[in-house]
Amino acid sequence: MSYHVTLIPGDGIGPEVAQAARVVAEATGVGIEWEVVDAGERAIKARGSPLPPEVLDSIRRNKVALKGPITTPIGSGFRSVNVALRQELDLYASVRPARAIAGEGTRYPETNLIVVREATEGLYSGVEHWVDREHSAAETVNVITRRASDRIVRFAFELARREHRPHVTAVHKANIMKTTGALFQSAFRELAPRYPEILADERLIDNMCMQLVKKPEEYNVIVTTNLMGDILSDLCAGLAGGLGVAPGALFGETMAVFEPVHGSAPKYAGQDKADPVAEILSLELMLRHLGETPAADRVFRAVWETIAEKKVVTYDLALPGYTLTPVPPSSCSAMAREIARKVPLVDLSAPLPSASKGRGEPASIDPNLETS
């Protein structure tokens, strides 16, 4: 049996990391027929629109998509394709797991949490305007509805229950935002008692940021609104080793789109240099969603072992900042090939290895190598 999956390579480093994920998918032996469609800058050139209708049609038909990052012009230009995609397809739940891989890439090796972010409304609703002709004042409307708050809170608790995660934290700013914040807060307070086995608590967003950088291991599942979730998921990606290793997924009632947390990193586009892990772990989440659990387990394990071994890793994992003992960086495609090579070979019953530790001395930094 083959799955039909929409593939959106995206912009910047997107095509390189998407190709890396395809190489790893092939190694799992799971039959996938990719339907490749363009969105973003490539689609503007070819079709005159950053989100042509065939992209939405393809996802609606296949129900599952793997996506690379898409560039959004800052401050002007077309509306974010990512935001439009989420709103058009009602992909309301953005799920971003932050798990430290192989220990060494982070000061917080115990990090293992999931940020669940409402992805269709809030400050990303697209309701904004200049207040005056001189453009000296502007408003962005923060739309929060009870319906969307209920369903994202329910999604977070159901996820926690399914994955046996004992703790869900709601993050808001209800002390200042007395309507929007309070609406989200009351949805959480009313639904939490339906999940008596799960510890439910709340944090204000500012306190949450401080708590996360001090003791992330105390948090398990975080549920929050759109902008706060966007910021917190990058923060958590940093705790878990960086954007290069942070996967993500977007879920609606019937469709799911899998994509890395990172953006299109234009400065590395076309250099075969970007870290493919975030896209490959997004593929892993996709395989889980399809019910291909053994294949997903193999992909995760192959990624973990490749990072732990530190023989074939991209620059961000090879240099100080991620590792205490720097190694020569490999290319995006070489790392993908190494992960793919390991996929059929890994032993799922063995304990996960920790990173090779080296001498434990402070790393010397090669000034010619750039950390991002």
Give me the residues that bind ligand NAD (CB under 6 A), please: 13, 17, 69-72, 82, 243-244, 259, 262-265, 267-268, 274-275, 278, 316, 372
Concatenating the DSSP letter of every residue in 33-50 gives EEEE---THHHHHHHSSS
Decide whether 36 or 176 has the Cβ nearer to ligand NAD: 36
Tell the smallest beta-carbon distance from residue 92 to ligand NAD (Å): 16
Tokens of 322: 């991620």
Tell the smallest beta-carbon distance from residue 121 to ligand NAD (Å): 17
φ/ψ of residue 239, rounded to 5: -60, -35
Tell the smallest beta-carbon distance from residue 338 to ligand NAD (Å): 16
Q: Can you tell me whether residue 221 is helix, strand or coil?
A: strand
H or E element in which residue 213 lies: helix 205-214
User: Which residue type does 227 have?
Assistant: L
Is residue 38 part of the annotated active site? The answer reads no
C-alpha 67/C-alpha 113 separation (Å) is: 22
Is residue 173 part of the annotated active site? The answer reads yes
Asked if 109 and 357 touch (Cβ cutoff 8 Å), the reply is no
Is residue 206 part of the annotated active site? The answer reads yes
- The catalytic residue among 92, 124, 315, 322 is 124
**Cα R_g (the chain), whole angstroms:** 20
Asked if 20 and 27 touch (Cβ cutoff 8 Å), the reply is no
H or E element in which residue 222 lies: strand 221-224
Q: Can you tell me whether residue 105 is helix, strand or coil?
A: coil
Decide whether 90 or 150 has the Cβ nearer to ligand NAD: 90
Is residue 366 part of the annotated active site? The answer reads no
Decide whether 302 or 335 has the Cβ nearer to ligand NAD: 335
Decide whether 224 or 264 has the Cβ nearer to ligand NAD: 264
- The catalytic residue among 230, 234, 272, 316 is 230
User: Which residue type does 174 have?
Assistant: A
Tell the smallest beta-carbon distance from residue 83 to ligand NAD (Å): 9
Tell the smallest beta-carbon distance from residue 253 to ligand NAD (Å): 21
- The catalytic residue among 92, 108, 173, 272 is 173
**C-alpha torsion sign, points 64, 302, 355, 324:** negative
Decide whether 181 or 276 has the Cβ nearer to ligand NAD: 276
In this structure, the dihedral spanned by the alpha carbons of residues 229, 231, 233 and 235, taken in order and rounded to 10 degrees, is -150
Catalytic residues: 124, 173, 206, 230
